[in-house]
Amino acid sequence: MIRKLSENDHKKVLSFLRGEPSINLFIIGDLEVFGYHSDFQEIWGEFDPQGEFRAVLLRFYQSFIPYAKGEFNVRGFASIMNEYKKPLYLSGKSDIVERFESYKELELGPKQVTYFAECRSPENLGTTDLEIHSAGIEDVDRIISLRSTIKEFQIRSDAREILLKSIESNTSRNYYTEENGIMTACVSTTAENSISAMIVGVCTRNENRRQGLATGIMQKLFNDVLSEGKTLCLFYDNPEAGRIYKKLGFKDIGMWTMHR
């Protein structure tokens, strides 16, 4: 049975998701902050005959994240997704997302597979002497502008709205460096919740690369988050970036697939 979830399910669904807290940080964070009655967010659950969770499906704007611990009703979730305006964005553990790829009616976008890594200890992070600033709402346009210069990034049409809402809801913190009033490097968290945070948007202005700026602001941000007792998570698909993250204490815990 699949049905839409409500506050009455909150305790039980969090217990289900916390079996893999890093993998589920997006769903956990969104539920903690936005709950069950936002016009941009919904969550459905599939139950077994004993009333226990088999799987969940979260919608956040046009993005969907499924999660399951075993077999689940893929067709049922695909039918729910198909009722929403295209294009749809789908992401999650690779072995789960791949089960949706045969449903052509979903019109899924290009596929990207990345490594999923986490860091639980600050022992390998080190410190930095860089002057690092914490960004606020007034810096949103500068952050989006910098990200737009990075050819590897795919900037969504609703990127500004999502970043703004994330800062307003305290589910995102953003650190940056600047030179002569120009933002030179930036790193952000997203989906911050009570137990974890995802690192995103690590970028450096082309003219300021190879100066250690990104590493410096990551050291500052990572130390701040870990000092609060949270786990850090991130995606990467660039081997050079992967080597940097592993030197800072990250370990691979799985693969993550995105269609966008």
Position 23 pLDDT exceeds 80 = yes
User: pTM for the complete prediction?
Assistant: 0.80
The structural domain count of the chain equals 2
- 104 lies in the same domain as 205: no
Position 154 pLDDT exceeds 80 = no
- 80 lies in the same domain as 20: yes
Q: How many CB atoms lie within 10 A of CB 128?
A: 17
- 90 lies in the same domain as 138: no
Q: Are 219 and 125 in contact (CB under 8 A)?
A: yes
- 103 lies in the same domain as 13: yes
pLDDT of the residue at 153:
81
Strands 231-236 and 196-204: parallel
Q: Is the peptide bond before 239 cis (omega within 30 degrees of 0)?
A: no
pLDDT of the residue at 119:
93
Q: What is the CATH number of the domain that holds 15?
A: 3.40.630
Residue 97 lies in a domain: yes
Give 132's DSSP letter: -
Mean pLDDT over 156-163 rounds to 86
pLDDT of the residue at 198:
93
- 129 lies in the same domain as 30: no
Q: How many CB atoms lie within 10 A of CB 196?
A: 23
Residue 114 lies in a domain: no
- 254 lies in the same domain as 219: yes
- 94 lies in the same domain as 150: no
Tokens for 92, please give them: 């999650």
DSSP characters for 2-63?
Answer: EEE--GGGHHHHHHHHTTSTTTTHHHHHHHHHHTT--TTEEEEEEE-TTS-EEEEEEEETTE
Q: Are 106 and 88 in contact (CB under 8 A)?
A: yes
Name which of 207, 110, 217 is nearest 154 in CA terms. 110
Last residue of a domain, one of 109, 136, 159: 109
* Domain, as residue range, for 128: 119-259
Q: Which residue has the higher pLDDT, 232 or 241?
A: 232
Last residue of a domain, one of 75, 91, 109: 109
Name which of 86, 92, 93 is nearest 109 in CA terms. 86
- 90 lies in the same domain as 53: yes
Last residue of a domain, one of 49, 84, 109: 109
- 248 lies in the same domain as 230: yes
Query: Does residue 259 sit in helix, strand or coil?
Result: strand
Position 152 pLDDT exceeds 80 = no
Position 95 pLDDT exceeds 90 = yes
- 136 lies in the same domain as 62: no
Name which of 59, 33, 56, 32 is nearest 46 in CA terms. 56
- 251 lies in the same domain as 136: yes
Q: What is the CATH number of the domain that holds 242?
A: 3.40.630.30
pLDDT-derived band at 145, boundaries 50, 70, 90: very high
Start-end of H helices in 94-193: 94-97, 140-148, 159-168
Residue 196 lies in a domain: yes
